[in-house]
Amino acid sequence: MANPITHINRKVPTEAEIRAQEMERLAEGAAKSHPGLLMFMDIVQEMYEAGYLEIVQGMVKNREKVLPYAFDFIKVSGMPIVMKNVISGLQFLGTLEPQKVQRTMNAVSHGLNKSLDVDMDGENKGFFDLLKMMKDPDVNRSITMLLTFLKSMGQHLGNSQQEINREMNQDKQKIMDEM
């Protein structure tokens, strides 16, 4: 039979070996992401040359004195309201279907470019000229879209907050199901 193991020799790395391993790991990481590191170092150099790093360093060193003023500035400047509006805006954008938004934005862009090319010094359109334009299928399509938008918005404005929340949750669930 074999002799029982009574003593285990563990190799405990020395401080120098640990440092060497860490330096090797750092070198490997730097080699993998060198373009990003070079860009980051360039940004830091620009901030140093512009004097921004001294400002940040002073703020960090004097944080106990600076923080109350920073919080007062945030309160007075209305930043909480701005942040809440930004979050609401992002939630709104999250409910829109990207293909429809892209199509609509392209149409708006094209319409703006065309309307800016129109000679404003030309003859003015009369009432009957405007009625004739409404027979144009493109004009009719745009007017129908705008009126549908206004009607839907008006209907939604008449809804209670509970109905609005329910509709938003349904829209979110629909989008999540599509992903």
pLDDT in tens, 94-116: 888 888 889 888 888 888 888 77
Q: How far apart are CA 101 and CA 94, in angstroms?
A: 11
Q: Is the pTM of this model over 0.75?
A: no
Determine which helix (DSSP H) or strand (DSSP E) holds 7, and give its type and residue range.
none
pLDDT tens, 45-93? 999 999 999 988 988 898 888 888 887 877 777 777 878 888 888 888 8
Exposed, middle or buried by CB within 10 Å (0-12, 13-18, 19+), for 98?
Answer: exposed
Instruction: Spell out the alpha helix ranges (H) of 33-126.
Output: 34-50, 52-61, 63-77, 79-95, 98-117
Would you say residue 173 has pLDDT above 80? Answer: no
The reported pLDDT for the residue numbered 136 is 92
DSSP state at residue 96: S
